[in-house]
Amino acid sequence: MFKRSWKSAFLVVALTAVFAAGAALQTARAEGKDEKVGQAVGKRLQEAMKLAGERKLPEAVSKAKEALAQAKTPFENFKANEVLAYIEIKSNDAQGALRAYEEIIDSPYLDPAARSQNTKAMTQLYFQARNYPKTIEFGQRVLKSSPGDVDFIVLVGQAYFLQKDCASATRYMNQAIDASQAAGRAPKENFYLIKYQCAADTKNTAAQIETLQSLAAHFPKKEYWSSLLTLTGKDQPDRVTQHFLRLKYETDTLNSVQEFTDMAQLAIQFGYPGEAQAVLERGFSSKVLEKDPAAAEKNHRLLESAKKDAEADRKTLPLQDKEDAKQKTGEADVKLGYAYLTYGDSTNAIAALERGIAKGGVKSPAESQIFLGMAYLKAKRADEAKKAFRSVKDDQLFGQVAKLWLIRADQT
Protein backbone atom coordinates (compact mmCIF):
# COMPACT_ATOMS: atom_id res chain seq x y z
CA MET A 1 0.00 0.00 0.00
CA PHE A 2 2.79 2.43 0.82
CA LYS A 3 6.23 2.76 -0.70
CA ARG A 4 9.52 2.59 1.20
CA SER A 5 10.64 6.10 0.29
CA TRP A 6 10.67 8.14 3.44
CA LYS A 7 12.34 11.50 3.78
CA SER A 8 13.44 13.10 7.01
CA ALA A 9 10.48 14.52 8.87
CA PHE A 10 12.17 17.88 9.25
CA LEU A 11 14.43 20.14 7.26
CA VAL A 12 18.17 20.01 7.76
CA VAL A 13 19.37 22.97 9.81
CA ALA A 14 21.56 25.64 8.34
CA LEU A 15 24.69 23.54 8.56
CA THR A 16 27.10 26.24 7.44
CA ALA A 17 25.95 28.44 10.30
CA VAL A 18 26.33 25.61 12.80
CA PHE A 19 29.87 24.72 11.79
CA ALA A 20 30.87 28.34 11.25
CA ALA A 21 30.57 29.07 14.96
CA GLY A 22 33.60 26.92 15.73
CA ALA A 23 35.58 27.91 12.66
CA ALA A 24 35.26 31.61 13.44
CA LEU A 25 37.07 31.31 16.77
CA GLN A 26 40.57 32.70 17.03
CA THR A 27 43.03 30.30 15.55
CA ALA A 28 45.62 31.15 18.21
CA ARG A 29 43.97 29.44 21.18
CA ALA A 30 40.84 27.75 22.41
CA GLU A 31 38.81 29.54 25.02
CA GLY A 32 40.20 28.85 28.47
CA LYS A 33 43.13 26.84 27.10
CA ASP A 34 46.82 27.66 26.81
CA GLU A 35 47.40 25.71 23.60
CA LYS A 36 48.30 27.80 20.59
CA VAL A 37 48.43 27.34 16.86
CA GLY A 38 51.94 27.74 15.48
CA GLN A 39 52.74 30.41 12.93
CA ALA A 40 52.97 28.07 9.91
CA VAL A 41 49.60 26.39 10.57
CA GLY A 42 47.92 29.61 11.72
CA LYS A 43 48.95 31.47 8.58
CA ARG A 44 47.49 28.81 6.30
CA LEU A 45 44.25 28.67 8.29
CA GLN A 46 43.86 32.44 8.04
CA GLU A 47 44.48 32.26 4.31
CA ALA A 48 41.93 29.43 4.03
CA MET A 49 39.28 31.49 5.83
CA LYS A 50 40.05 34.54 3.68
CA LEU A 51 39.70 32.48 0.49
CA ALA A 52 36.43 31.00 1.77
CA GLY A 53 35.14 34.51 2.40
CA GLU A 54 36.00 35.38 -1.20
CA ARG A 55 34.08 32.23 -2.31
CA LYS A 56 37.26 30.67 -3.68
CA LEU A 57 36.29 27.41 -2.11
CA PRO A 58 38.56 24.86 -3.89
CA GLU A 59 41.57 27.02 -3.04
CA ALA A 60 40.32 27.41 0.54
CA VAL A 61 39.97 23.62 0.94
CA SER A 62 43.46 23.11 -0.44
CA LYS A 63 44.92 25.66 1.97
CA ALA A 64 43.12 24.11 4.96
CA LYS A 65 44.48 20.68 4.00
CA GLU A 66 47.98 22.17 3.87
CA ALA A 67 47.49 23.43 7.40
CA LEU A 68 46.27 19.98 8.49
CA ALA A 69 49.32 18.32 6.92
CA GLN A 70 51.63 20.64 8.87
CA ALA A 71 49.80 20.32 12.20
CA LYS A 72 52.16 19.04 14.89
CA THR A 73 50.08 19.26 18.09
CA PRO A 74 46.61 17.93 18.99
CA PHE A 75 45.35 21.49 19.19
CA GLU A 76 46.67 22.39 15.74
CA ASN A 77 45.07 19.23 14.37
CA PHE A 78 41.79 20.23 16.04
CA LYS A 79 41.78 23.77 14.59
CA ALA A 80 42.79 22.62 11.11
CA ASN A 81 40.00 20.03 11.01
CA GLU A 82 37.50 22.56 12.37
CA VAL A 83 38.29 25.05 9.62
CA LEU A 84 38.37 22.32 6.99
CA ALA A 85 34.92 21.05 8.06
CA TYR A 86 33.52 24.56 7.83
CA ILE A 87 34.89 25.09 4.31
CA GLU A 88 33.80 21.62 3.16
CA ILE A 89 30.25 22.45 4.20
CA LYS A 90 30.38 25.72 2.28
CA SER A 91 31.62 23.67 -0.68
CA ASN A 92 28.66 21.25 -0.34
CA ASP A 93 31.07 18.39 0.34
CA ALA A 94 29.23 16.69 3.19
CA GLN A 95 31.47 13.64 3.15
CA GLY A 96 34.59 15.78 3.50
CA ALA A 97 33.06 17.74 6.36
CA LEU A 98 32.00 14.55 8.12
CA ARG A 99 35.51 13.11 7.87
CA ALA A 100 36.91 16.27 9.42
CA TYR A 101 34.33 16.45 12.19
CA GLU A 102 34.70 12.76 13.05
CA GLU A 103 38.26 13.74 14.04
CA ILE A 104 37.24 16.44 16.48
CA ILE A 105 33.67 15.77 17.68
CA ASP A 106 35.00 14.23 20.92
CA SER A 107 37.93 16.62 21.27
CA PRO A 108 38.31 18.35 24.66
CA TYR A 109 38.94 21.55 22.69
CA LEU A 110 35.43 21.60 21.23
CA ASP A 111 33.03 23.81 23.11
CA PRO A 112 30.18 21.69 24.64
CA ALA A 113 27.48 23.82 23.04
CA ALA A 114 29.17 23.47 19.64
CA ARG A 115 29.53 19.72 20.21
CA SER A 116 25.78 19.43 20.75
CA GLN A 117 24.97 21.44 17.62
CA ASN A 118 27.50 19.62 15.50
CA THR A 119 26.35 16.20 16.66
CA LYS A 120 22.86 17.10 15.45
CA ALA A 121 24.19 18.41 12.16
CA MET A 122 26.32 15.30 11.63
CA THR A 123 23.30 13.07 12.27
CA GLN A 124 21.40 14.87 9.54
CA LEU A 125 24.33 14.80 7.14
CA TYR A 126 24.79 11.07 7.63
CA PHE A 127 21.09 10.53 6.95
CA GLN A 128 21.32 12.58 3.75
CA ALA A 129 24.36 10.54 2.76
CA ARG A 130 22.36 7.33 3.40
CA ASN A 131 24.85 6.21 5.99
CA TYR A 132 22.22 4.81 8.31
CA PRO A 133 24.48 3.12 10.89
CA LYS A 134 26.22 6.45 11.47
CA THR A 135 22.85 8.23 11.54
CA ILE A 136 21.79 5.89 14.33
CA GLU A 137 25.10 6.26 16.20
CA PHE A 138 25.07 10.05 16.23
CA GLY A 139 21.29 10.28 16.58
CA GLN A 140 21.46 8.22 19.74
CA ARG A 141 24.12 10.62 21.06
CA VAL A 142 21.66 13.45 20.55
CA LEU A 143 18.88 11.53 22.29
CA LYS A 144 21.08 10.67 25.25
CA SER A 145 21.14 14.34 26.18
CA SER A 146 17.72 15.25 24.70
CA PRO A 147 15.52 12.12 25.00
CA GLY A 148 12.33 13.97 24.08
CA ASP A 149 13.64 15.49 20.82
CA VAL A 150 10.97 14.25 18.42
CA ASP A 151 12.86 15.21 15.27
CA PHE A 152 15.84 13.07 16.16
CA ILE A 153 13.75 10.20 17.48
CA VAL A 154 12.14 10.12 14.05
CA LEU A 155 15.45 10.44 12.21
CA VAL A 156 16.88 7.43 14.07
CA GLY A 157 13.65 5.51 13.51
CA GLN A 158 13.75 6.25 9.80
CA ALA A 159 17.35 5.07 9.63
CA TYR A 160 16.35 1.76 11.21
CA PHE A 161 13.38 1.54 8.83
CA LEU A 162 15.57 2.05 5.78
CA GLN A 163 17.82 -0.74 7.05
CA LYS A 164 14.67 -2.91 7.29
CA ASP A 165 15.00 -3.24 11.05
CA CYS A 166 11.27 -3.02 11.66
CA ALA A 167 11.34 -3.87 15.36
CA SER A 168 13.62 -0.90 16.11
CA ALA A 169 11.86 1.42 13.64
CA THR A 170 8.48 0.68 15.24
CA ARG A 171 9.90 1.24 18.72
CA TYR A 172 11.24 4.66 17.73
CA MET A 173 8.02 5.66 15.96
CA ASN A 174 6.08 4.79 19.12
CA GLN A 175 8.53 6.96 21.07
CA ALA A 176 8.00 9.79 18.59
CA ILE A 177 4.22 9.52 18.96
CA ASP A 178 4.46 9.51 22.77
CA ALA A 179 6.96 12.39 22.83
CA SER A 180 4.83 14.47 20.46
CA GLN A 181 1.75 13.98 22.60
CA ALA A 182 3.70 14.74 25.78
CA ALA A 183 4.80 18.02 24.19
CA GLY A 184 1.22 18.87 23.22
CA ARG A 185 1.85 18.31 19.50
CA ALA A 186 -0.11 16.08 17.17
CA PRO A 187 2.00 13.15 15.92
CA LYS A 188 2.76 13.35 12.20
CA GLU A 189 1.17 11.07 9.66
CA ASN A 190 4.59 9.79 8.62
CA PHE A 191 5.13 8.21 12.06
CA TYR A 192 2.11 5.95 11.59
CA LEU A 193 2.92 5.19 7.97
CA ILE A 194 6.31 3.78 8.94
CA LYS A 195 4.64 1.67 11.63
CA TYR A 196 2.10 0.43 9.11
CA GLN A 197 4.70 -0.49 6.51
CA CYS A 198 6.70 -2.39 9.13
CA ALA A 199 3.58 -4.27 10.20
CA ALA A 200 2.83 -5.12 6.57
CA ASP A 201 6.44 -6.18 5.89
CA THR A 202 6.39 -8.53 8.87
CA LYS A 203 2.85 -9.75 8.08
CA ASN A 204 1.62 -8.67 11.51
CA THR A 205 -2.10 -8.29 10.85
CA ALA A 206 -2.97 -7.14 14.37
CA ALA A 207 -0.35 -4.37 14.17
CA GLN A 208 -1.60 -3.36 10.71
CA ILE A 209 -5.15 -3.02 12.04
CA GLU A 210 -4.03 -1.08 15.12
CA THR A 211 -2.00 1.38 13.02
CA LEU A 212 -4.69 1.78 10.37
CA GLN A 213 -7.13 2.61 13.17
CA SER A 214 -4.80 5.41 14.27
CA LEU A 215 -4.44 6.65 10.70
CA ALA A 216 -8.20 6.58 10.12
CA ALA A 217 -8.77 8.38 13.43
CA HIS A 218 -6.18 11.13 12.99
CA PHE A 219 -6.00 11.39 9.19
CA PRO A 220 -9.41 10.20 7.92
CA LYS A 221 -8.48 9.64 4.31
CA LYS A 222 -10.49 7.23 2.21
CA GLU A 223 -7.46 5.04 1.52
CA TYR A 224 -6.95 4.42 5.24
CA TRP A 225 -10.60 3.67 5.90
CA SER A 226 -10.76 1.38 2.88
CA SER A 227 -7.68 -0.62 3.88
CA LEU A 228 -8.81 -0.81 7.51
CA LEU A 229 -12.31 -2.03 6.68
CA THR A 230 -11.08 -4.52 4.10
CA LEU A 231 -8.57 -5.99 6.54
CA THR A 232 -10.88 -6.15 9.55
CA GLY A 233 -13.82 -7.43 7.51
CA LYS A 234 -12.07 -10.54 6.21
CA ASP A 235 -13.48 -14.00 6.99
CA GLN A 236 -16.44 -12.76 9.02
CA PRO A 237 -19.97 -14.23 9.25
CA ASP A 238 -22.41 -12.64 6.82
CA ARG A 239 -24.13 -10.56 9.48
CA VAL A 240 -20.82 -9.06 10.65
CA THR A 241 -19.56 -8.66 7.07
CA GLN A 242 -22.62 -6.54 6.37
CA HIS A 243 -21.66 -4.21 9.21
CA PHE A 244 -18.20 -3.69 7.73
CA LEU A 245 -19.86 -2.97 4.38
CA ARG A 246 -22.13 -0.47 6.14
CA LEU A 247 -19.05 1.28 7.46
CA LYS A 248 -17.65 1.32 3.93
CA TYR A 249 -20.92 2.85 2.75
CA GLU A 250 -20.70 5.43 5.57
CA THR A 251 -17.09 6.35 4.71
CA ASP A 252 -17.74 6.27 0.94
CA THR A 253 -15.16 3.54 0.40
CA LEU A 254 -17.27 0.92 -1.36
CA ASN A 255 -15.15 0.74 -4.49
CA SER A 256 -15.83 -2.45 -6.37
CA VAL A 257 -18.74 -4.06 -8.18
CA GLN A 258 -18.47 -7.05 -5.83
CA GLU A 259 -18.77 -4.92 -2.68
CA PHE A 260 -21.85 -3.06 -3.91
CA THR A 261 -23.49 -6.27 -5.06
CA ASP A 262 -22.64 -8.17 -1.86
CA MET A 263 -24.00 -5.41 0.34
CA ALA A 264 -27.24 -5.16 -1.64
CA GLN A 265 -27.80 -8.92 -1.64
CA LEU A 266 -27.10 -9.22 2.08
CA ALA A 267 -29.50 -6.35 2.77
CA ILE A 268 -32.22 -8.22 0.92
CA GLN A 269 -31.30 -11.45 2.72
CA PHE A 270 -31.70 -9.74 6.12
CA GLY A 271 -34.98 -8.09 5.13
CA TYR A 272 -33.90 -4.51 4.42
CA PRO A 273 -34.89 -3.69 0.82
CA GLY A 274 -34.52 0.05 1.51
CA GLU A 275 -30.85 -0.49 2.30
CA ALA A 276 -30.40 -2.54 -0.87
CA GLN A 277 -32.00 0.22 -2.94
CA ALA A 278 -29.79 2.94 -1.44
CA VAL A 279 -26.61 0.91 -1.98
CA LEU A 280 -27.38 0.06 -5.60
CA GLU A 281 -28.41 3.63 -6.44
CA ARG A 282 -25.09 4.89 -5.10
CA GLY A 283 -23.28 2.19 -7.06
CA PHE A 284 -24.83 3.38 -10.30
CA SER A 285 -24.52 7.11 -9.54
CA SER A 286 -20.81 6.62 -8.79
CA LYS A 287 -20.42 4.68 -12.07
CA VAL A 288 -18.81 1.74 -10.25
CA LEU A 289 -21.64 -0.61 -11.24
CA GLU A 290 -21.32 0.50 -14.86
CA LYS A 291 -17.80 -0.93 -15.19
CA ASP A 292 -18.92 -4.48 -15.90
CA PRO A 293 -21.79 -4.58 -18.47
CA ALA A 294 -22.90 -8.06 -17.46
CA ALA A 295 -22.92 -7.18 -13.77
CA ALA A 296 -24.61 -3.84 -14.52
CA GLU A 297 -27.54 -5.57 -16.21
CA LYS A 298 -27.90 -7.98 -13.29
CA ASN A 299 -27.72 -5.16 -10.74
CA HIS A 300 -30.27 -3.07 -12.65
CA ARG A 301 -32.71 -5.94 -12.25
CA LEU A 302 -31.77 -6.25 -8.58
CA LEU A 303 -32.34 -2.51 -8.11
CA GLU A 304 -35.78 -2.60 -9.71
CA SER A 305 -36.75 -5.50 -7.47
CA ALA A 306 -35.40 -3.71 -4.38
CA LYS A 307 -37.35 -0.56 -5.27
CA LYS A 308 -40.63 -2.47 -5.47
CA ASP A 309 -39.99 -4.32 -2.22
CA ALA A 310 -38.88 -1.12 -0.48
CA GLU A 311 -41.98 0.76 -1.59
CA ALA A 312 -44.24 -1.98 -0.24
CA ASP A 313 -42.18 -2.37 2.96
CA ARG A 314 -42.19 1.32 3.73
CA LYS A 315 -45.98 1.50 3.60
CA THR A 316 -46.28 -1.21 6.24
CA LEU A 317 -43.99 0.42 8.78
CA PRO A 318 -46.66 2.39 10.74
CA LEU A 319 -48.74 -0.77 11.16
CA GLN A 320 -45.69 -2.82 12.08
CA ASP A 321 -44.83 -0.17 14.66
CA LYS A 322 -48.19 -0.54 16.40
CA GLU A 323 -48.03 -4.33 16.34
CA ASP A 324 -44.42 -4.55 17.47
CA ALA A 325 -45.06 -2.21 20.38
CA LYS A 326 -47.45 -4.84 21.81
CA GLN A 327 -44.81 -7.58 21.77
CA LYS A 328 -43.26 -8.62 25.10
CA THR A 329 -39.77 -8.98 23.67
CA GLY A 330 -37.84 -6.44 21.64
CA GLU A 331 -36.57 -8.37 18.60
CA ALA A 332 -39.28 -7.08 16.24
CA ASP A 333 -38.77 -3.51 17.50
CA VAL A 334 -35.06 -3.68 16.78
CA LYS A 335 -35.62 -4.96 13.26
CA LEU A 336 -38.24 -2.26 12.70
CA GLY A 337 -35.90 0.40 14.09
CA TYR A 338 -33.15 -0.40 11.63
CA ALA A 339 -35.70 -0.56 8.80
CA TYR A 340 -36.75 3.00 9.67
CA LEU A 341 -33.10 4.01 9.57
CA THR A 342 -32.59 2.58 6.07
CA TYR A 343 -35.28 5.01 4.89
CA GLY A 344 -33.57 7.96 6.59
CA ASP A 345 -36.06 8.23 9.48
CA SER A 346 -33.76 8.48 12.49
CA THR A 347 -36.49 9.73 14.86
CA ASN A 348 -38.71 6.67 14.54
CA ALA A 349 -35.64 4.46 14.31
CA ILE A 350 -34.39 5.64 17.71
CA ALA A 351 -37.84 5.26 19.30
CA ALA A 352 -38.26 1.68 18.07
CA LEU A 353 -34.69 0.66 18.93
CA GLU A 354 -34.82 2.14 22.44
CA ARG A 355 -38.16 0.42 23.02
CA GLY A 356 -36.87 -2.94 21.82
CA ILE A 357 -33.62 -2.77 23.81
CA ALA A 358 -35.57 -1.80 26.96
CA LYS A 359 -37.87 -4.81 26.56
CA GLY A 360 -34.96 -7.22 26.22
CA GLY A 361 -35.17 -10.65 24.65
CA VAL A 362 -33.36 -9.58 21.47
CA LYS A 363 -31.21 -12.12 19.62
CA SER A 364 -28.13 -9.89 19.57
CA PRO A 365 -27.97 -7.12 22.19
CA ALA A 366 -24.62 -6.01 20.75
CA GLU A 367 -25.96 -5.56 17.23
CA SER A 368 -28.99 -3.73 18.65
CA GLN A 369 -26.67 -1.20 20.32
CA ILE A 370 -24.77 -0.72 17.08
CA PHE A 371 -28.03 -0.03 15.24
CA LEU A 372 -28.97 2.44 17.98
CA GLY A 373 -25.59 4.16 17.75
CA MET A 374 -25.98 4.47 13.99
CA ALA A 375 -29.41 6.03 14.47
CA TYR A 376 -28.09 8.50 17.02
CA LEU A 377 -25.31 9.49 14.61
CA LYS A 378 -27.84 10.04 11.85
CA ALA A 379 -29.75 12.29 14.26
CA LYS A 380 -26.52 14.18 15.08
CA ARG A 381 -26.52 12.95 18.68
CA ALA A 382 -22.88 11.92 18.72
CA ASP A 383 -22.42 11.62 22.49
CA GLU A 384 -25.32 9.18 22.78
CA ALA A 385 -24.02 7.29 19.75
CA LYS A 386 -20.61 6.87 21.39
CA LYS A 387 -22.24 5.59 24.57
CA ALA A 388 -24.10 2.94 22.56
CA PHE A 389 -20.97 1.87 20.69
CA ARG A 390 -18.86 1.78 23.86
CA SER A 391 -21.32 -0.57 25.49
CA VAL A 392 -20.36 -3.33 23.01
CA LYS A 393 -16.75 -2.53 22.13
CA ASP A 394 -15.58 -5.65 23.96
CA ASP A 395 -18.15 -7.95 22.37
CA GLN A 396 -16.45 -10.95 20.73
CA LEU A 397 -18.49 -10.75 17.51
CA PHE A 398 -19.34 -7.07 17.10
CA GLY A 399 -16.64 -5.42 19.23
CA GLN A 400 -14.39 -4.45 16.30
CA VAL A 401 -17.37 -2.98 14.44
CA ALA A 402 -18.24 -0.89 17.50
CA LYS A 403 -14.65 0.38 17.84
CA LEU A 404 -14.64 1.56 14.22
CA TRP A 405 -18.00 3.29 14.67
CA LEU A 406 -16.51 5.07 17.69
CA ILE A 407 -13.74 6.43 15.47
CA ARG A 408 -16.31 7.50 12.92
CA ALA A 409 -18.43 9.16 15.60
CA ASP A 410 -15.52 11.42 16.51
CA GLN A 411 -15.44 12.61 12.90
CA THR A 412 -19.07 13.62 12.59
* Contacts with 260 (C-beta within 8 Å, 6 or more apart), sequence order: 254, 279, 280, 282, 283, 288, 289, 299
92 within domain boundaries: yes
Q: Report the C-alpha gap between 335 and 385 in whole angstroms.
A: 18
Position 33 scores a pLDDT of: 52
Final residue of a structural domain among 90, 125, 160: 125
CB 357 within 8 A of CB 369: yes
Domain assignment of residue 120, given as a range: 1-125
Length of the chain: 412
Q: What is the pTM of this model?
A: 0.84
The percent of residues above 70 in pLDDT, for the chain, comes to 92
DSSP 349-398: HHHHHHHHHHH---S-HHHHHHHHHHHHHHTT-HHHHHHHHHTTTT-TTT
- Taking only the tens place, the pLDDT of each residue in 153-172 is 999 999 999 999 999 999 99
Cα separation of 398 and 232, whole Å? 11
Residue 394 has pLDDT above 80, yes or no: yes
188 domain-assigned: yes
Q: Determine the pLDDT at residue 6.
A: 39
Residues 92, 166 within the same domain? no
52 and 111 both lie in a single domain: yes
Is there a contact between 366 and 388 (Cβ–Cβ < 8 Å)?
no
Helix (H, G, I), strand (E, B) or coil at 208: helix
Query: Which of 125, 140, 171 is the endpoint of a domain?
Result: 125
Residues 213 and 140 both lie in one domain: yes
Cβ neighbours of residue 324 closer than 8 Å, sequence gap 6 or more: 332, 333, 336, 352, 356
217: in domain: yes
Read off the pLDDT of residues 141-151 as tens digits, 9 standing for 90 and up. 999 999 999 99
Total domains in the chain come to: 3
Are residues 72 and 137 located together in one domain of the fold?
Answer: no
| Confidence at residue 412, expressed as pLDDT on a 0 to 100 scale | 83
| Domain end among 125, 143, 174 | 125
